Structure 1
Amino acid sequence: MERKFLTTGDGSLTIHLPEWDEQYHSKHGAINEARHVFIKEGLHHWVSSHNNASLAILEIGFGTGLNAFLTFQEAQKNNFNIHYVGVEGYPLPLEEINKLNYPELLNFPKSDFLKLHDSPWDKLSAISQNFFLLKQQRFFLEINETEEFDLIYFDAFGIRVQPELWTESIFQKMFTALKNGGMLVTYAANGNARRAMQAVGFSVERLAGPPGKKEMLRGTKK
């Protein structure tokens, strides 16, 4: 599938898929969206509500590695201990990753960003003393873990282009993979997605969304 680079509203790049008229991140700001949805309403909310800085995170859609990079940055700044699993069916080539401008805009070493991508697939890697990364090349339907994760970043392509990723069967896998008290955050606020999450047992909150989006969702496994 053809991919093109697109500059988003905050100056950060994302990858656009013309065939689907879809991109990997919000056109209103890739970094701003990721920070709001996954770092503020996900990572920091989980740490503050559990009073615990050690957690296991599952990312659905590793993609450009932006969410992992921001999480790694937060771990270094705040001394969080994180075991991070990123699932991706179609990894991006390194020549495209090299063109992304996240390290420059975040004022963080590009070598750290590339270390995330240079780490081997399907093998646990120590990116730092407190950040361990396991990238898995597999499809979301193949996820079958039970009570292994504290937090899920659900960053799949939108329901308009891949509705099969926003169904009760997928969210049941997410619910099962979470520990009790675990949380799932996503940029989406679609009613069908919210009802699917509720149907499998999530307690769902509608929160203020990132720039350009009115709402987002956070689900908790009670």
Structure 2
Amino acid sequence: MERKVIETGDGSKTLFIPEMNEQYHSVNGAITESTHVYLNAGYKHHKTETPYLFEVGFGTGLNALLTAVEAEKQKRKTTYTTIEKFPLDMKLIEDLNYGKLISEEAEALFTKIHTAKWGEEIQISEYFKMLKIEADLIAFNFADTQNFDLIYFDAFGPDKQPAMWEREVFDKIFKVSNPEAVFVTYSAKGEIRRQLRDCGYMMERLPGPPGKRQMLRGTKPAD
């Protein structure tokens, strides 16, 4: 599948898939969107001192990078598990400019994140450990994984990958979410909110990133 590197509104780059007419991030700003949806509404919102985080859709690794940078800043030991069915070629990764736009430290972290072996838990930095899983979430068995405090749901949109947004997928994630776990996604569709609510999450609509009116955040009730 062809992927083209394009520049977004905040100067950061993303990938565009002509076949799907879909990009990996908002054209209004890749870093801006990821910071707003996943870092601010998710990672910074949840107060667990040693969070276990699960990301659906590793993609370009931007969400992982921003979380790693923030984990070091907060000195907050973070374990990050991410699943991706179609890992990107390193040649495409090398054309992305996230680290360069953030800091020298971020650029080094970005390289470590992408060169880390798939299927092995790797200590990327003092406060950031990650496991990259190459698999299809729909068929994936969570039996051997830690339960999670935070979920970044960053699959392609419901109109592009409808099977990823089905109730069965949300149920699967809910079952491996700890009490008071937080689920964040850029989507604000009413049907997605209802499905997540029916799984058991307490749902709220939040202001969205530039170019998007709203996003969703769910919280699993405490035991």
TM-score computed with the length of structure 2 as normaliser: 0.95
Query: Partner of 1:179 in structure 2?
Result: 178
SS in 2 for 1:71: helix
Q: Which stretch shows the higher mean deviation, 143-152 or 79-88?
A: 143-152
1:172, 1:80 → 2: CA distance?
Answer: 29
Instruction: Note if contact 1:36-1:210 (Cα within 8 Å) is conserved in structure 2.
Output: yes
Query: Partner of 2:139 in structure 1?
Result: 142
2:171, 2:140 → 1: CA distance?
Answer: 10
Query: Partner of 1:88 in structure 2?
Result: 84
| Consecutive aligned runs of 4 or more in structure 1 exceeding 3 Å deviation | none
Structure 1 unaligned spans of 5+? none
- 1:34-72: CA deviations, max 9, x gaps? 00000000000002xxxx321100000000000000000
2:141, 2:191 → 1: CA distance?
Answer: 23
Query: Partner of 2:111 in structure 1?
Result: 114
2:57, 2:91 → 1: CA distance?
Answer: 19
1:207, 1:22 → 2: CA distance?
Answer: 23
Q: Which amino acid aligns with 2:189?
A: N
2:116, 2:135 → 1: CA distance?
Answer: 16
Distance change in 2, residues 1:178/1:36 (3 Å): same
TM-fit CA distance, 1:160? 1.1
TM-fit CA distance, 1:207? 0.3
Q: Percent identity?
A: 44
1:114, 1:142 → 2: CA distance?
Answer: 29
Structure 2 unaligned spans of 5+? none
Q: Which amino acid aligns with 2:166?
A: T
SS in 2 for 1:54: coil
Q: Give the alignment's Cα RMSD to 1 decimal.
A: 1.1
2:68, 2:108 → 1: CA distance?
Answer: 13
TM-fit CA distance, 1:159? 0.7
TM-score computed with the length of structure 1 as normaliser: 0.95
- 1:160-179: CA deviations, max 9, x gaps? 11111111111101111100
Instruction: Note if contact 2:72-2:126 (Cα within 8 Å) is conserved in structure 1.
Output: no
2:194, 2:104 → 1: CA distance?
Answer: 39
Q: Which amino acid aligns with 1:6?
A: I
TM-fit CA distance, 1:145? 2.8
Matches within 5 A, 1:40-189: 40-47=40-47, 52-109=48-105, 110-145=107-142, 148-189=147-188
Instruction: Note if contact 1:144-1:173 (Cα within 8 Å) is conserved in structure 2.
Output: no
